[in-house]
Every structure is written in structure tokens, then in C-alpha cells.
């Protein structure tokens, strides 16, 4: 071991400390949603007492206590700013986080391990919004998200279509000729098959793209790389060896923004979920209603709901404040079961 190697370990520890501090501040913002005021002297005493008790080794109790006094002070400053939070699935740097920033850059993105956690977090209160991917031009529908949408009481208040540009990331200073394996989400790996084959790289599946980037940085895997977003490279101190490595030029993912409150503004797209009886021509009757009203459908998907039962997702251009749309929806309600308008909202595409 030499000085250079020791400093590398120090840099890695510093990045972990910064990540943990950021995570702690996020938790503080979430806690604010459940308490009437920012000041809580009893809780602060509890934290500082625990720090004093658990101080070990080289760290003197007084030193670490002073650090935590500053951490608590900064947390309260952030809580007073009354930020709005948006939950997303994956590690920081995930494309869902990128989409959330495109939708509203003033929101604070909070990482969730599962899609169900995003829905639950919006329903129970700590998140003002949630953002989830519903379909990709190459990978198709995101089945788990669509299944969660069937039973949720949340409303869709926005949508964004984001171009997915995948980057080949490695540790700084890595010789790309020495890289043998590449970690990423299975869907991202599938979108880069030509690149992987051309460079004779072995794909290794990981939970999510940003998680693969974080793991690579933390474990310092010198002969490995990750496929993730450019934001992931910035967050985890990785080098972007090559950008836009996806096989097809048009690689788009559509995201929905969820809220407990219904969108009250004029939207340009609506989404409904419904079921139909097991009779020939029932679905055709629904589609015919929209055709007669000259309403343009943009998406229709069927998702298994219960054994032998399917729910249909249908998106169309228009607003529920429009008389023609309202007339069509009333007709559709009469010929379907479990009908639900999950949102009328503005959708935009990022170029």
C-alpha cells in the first residue's frame, strides 16, 4: 500500500459520507411532513445523547457532537424551506430522477427501493408526488407499475416522454481495453447488445442502472464498467468513456407523475382504466365511442388483473373539461365495469 492508494480510499470514504449526509437530509425533509413544527428539542437531545454514548475509537465525543449540532442545524434550515418531494424508484442518478428534474426542477427527488414504495409514499404523505415509468419504445410496458396503477387511488397529474441515452461508465483512469464485464439493469443491457458484442463485453444484470454505477464506484472494480445515465457518472465520480451506446437511435421512456390531489388545470391528455364483460365486441364498442367523437387514442394496453380478468389502459388526446370528451366518457362508463379516470394532465416530450 502507498500514499496514492490510501488517498483513493479516503476519497471513496468522503463520497460515501456525502451520500449518507444527503440521504439524512432527505429523511429530515420527509419527517417534516409528519410533525407540526421544525423545532423539536427533545428529539435533538435524544440524538446528541446517543452520539455521546456511541462515540468510539479515534473520534472524541465532543468533536462528533459538534458535527451533529451542525447537521441538525442544516436539517432545520432545509425543513423551513418547505420543499416539495417526489419519490422515484432506484438509486440517485436513475432515469426516473432525470425525468423528475425535467418535469419540475424545484422538486427534491427521493430514492425508493421499489415501485410500490413510490405509490405508498405518495398515499401516506411523505412525498408530494411520485414518478414512475410506464412504457419504453424498446422494452414495452413496465408491468409492475401498470399493475399498481389498477388499484391505486392516486391521480396522474403529469407525464413526460424522455429520450434514454445510455453511457458506458468506468472508474477514472481505467484503460477501456482491460474492461471485461459490464453491470446494468437487464433492460439497459438489452438495449446495448450490439455495443457489448462489438467490444466483447460480458453483461452482468443488476437491480438498476444507477445502482450499478454506485456499486462500481464503491467496490472499485477495475476491470468492470456500468451502463447508466450521465447523471450517475457525475454523482458517483465515474468517467464517461462513451455516450449514446444504445443500439437504436429512438429510445424513449414515458413517465407518469402521481399525486393524491387531482390536477385542476386544463390538460392535453387523459388516461382511463376499465374492465369489460366477457362478451364478443365489448372492447370494440368502447373504441367505437371514441372514434365517433373523433377523439385520438394514443395508447391501449391490457394488463392481467385477476385470474381470467384483464384491465385495459387507454390514453387519448383531450381534456375532461371538454364537452365532447365528457360525453364520450359517460358513454364508456355505461358499457364498462371498474371504470376509473386516473387523470387529465399535460404531457410533454423532451427533445
Catalytic residue numbers? 253, 255
| Closest by Cα among 290, 288, 250 to 270 | 290
Q: Is 12 exposed, middle or buried (0-12, 13-18, 19+ CB in 10 A)?
A: middle
Distance CA 5, CA 179 (A): 20
Q: What letter does residue 84 receive in the DSSP assignment?
A: -
Give the contacts of 126 (CB within 8 A, at least 6 positions apart). 30, 33, 34, 85, 87, 110
Residues in the chain: 351
Specify whether the CB–CB gap between 236 and 225 falls below 8 A: no
Specify whether the CB–CB gap between 297 and 237 falls below 8 A: no
Give the CB-side neighbour count of residue 273, counting CA atoms within 13 A. Answer: 20
Distance CA 214, CA 234 (A): 11
Give strand pairing partners of 44.
none
Give the contacts of 221 (CB within 8 A, at least 6 positions apart). 171, 181, 215
Amino acid at each position: 500500500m502507498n500514499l496514492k492508494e490510501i488517498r483513493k480510499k479516503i476519497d471513496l470514504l468522503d463520497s460515501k459520507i456525502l451520500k449518507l449526509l444527503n440521504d439524512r437530509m432527505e429523511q429530515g425533509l420527509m419527517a417534516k411532513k409528519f410533525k407540526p413544527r421544525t423545532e423539536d428539542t427533545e428529539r435533538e437531545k435524544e440524538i446528541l445523547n446517543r452520539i455521546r454514548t456511541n462515540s468510539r475509537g479515534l473520534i472524541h465525543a465532543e468533536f462528533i457532537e459538534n458535527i451533529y449540532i451542525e447537521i441538525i442545524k442544516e436539517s432545520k434550515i432545509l425543513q423551513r424551506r418547505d420543499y416539495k418531494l417526489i419519490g422515484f424508484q432506484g438509486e440517485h442518478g436513475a432515469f426516473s430522477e432525470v425525468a423528475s428534474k425535467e418535469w419540475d426542477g424545484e422538486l427534491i427527488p427521493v430514492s425508493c427501493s421499489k415501485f410500490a414504495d413510490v405509490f405508498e409514499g405518495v398515499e401516506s404523505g411523505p412525498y408530494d408526488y411520485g414518478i414512475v415509468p410506464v412504457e419504453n419504445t424498446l422494452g414495452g410496458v413496465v408491468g409492475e407499475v401498470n399493475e399498481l396503477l389498477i388499484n391505486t387511488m392516486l391521480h396522474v397529474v403529469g407525464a413526460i416522454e424522455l429520450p434514454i441515452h445510455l453511457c458506458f461508465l468506468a472508474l477514472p483512469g481505467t484503460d477501456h481495453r482491460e474492461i471485461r464485464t459490464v453491470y446494468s439493469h437487464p433492460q439497459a443491457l438489452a438495449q446495448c447488445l450490439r455495443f457489448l458484442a462489438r467490444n466483447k463485453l460480458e453483461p452482468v444484470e443488476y437491480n438498476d442502472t444507477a445502482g450499478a454505477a454506485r456499486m462500481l464506484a464503491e467496490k472499485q472494480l477495475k476491470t468492470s464498467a456500468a451502463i447508466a445515465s450521465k447523471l450517475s457518472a457525475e454523482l458517483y465520480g465515474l468517467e464517461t468513456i462513451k455516450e449514446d451506446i444504445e443500439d437504436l437511435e429512438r429510445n424513449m421512456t414515458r413517465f407518469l407523475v402521481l399525486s393524491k390531489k387531482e390536477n385542476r388545470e386544463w390538460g392535453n391528455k387523459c388516461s382511463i382504466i376499465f374492465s369489460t364483460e366477457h362478451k364478443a365486441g365489448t372492447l370494440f364498442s368502447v373504441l367505437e365511442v371514441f372514434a365517433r367523437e373523433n377523439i385520438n387514442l394514443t395508447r391501449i394496453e391490457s394488463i392481467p388483473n385477476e385470474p381470467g380478468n384483464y384491465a385495459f389502459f387507454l390514453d387519448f388526446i383531450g381534456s375532461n373539461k371538454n364537452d365532447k370528451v365528457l360525453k364520450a366518457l359517460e358513454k364508456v362508463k355505461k358499457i364498462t365495469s371498474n371504470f376509473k379516470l386516473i387523470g387529465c394532465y399535460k404531457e410533454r416530450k423532451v427533445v
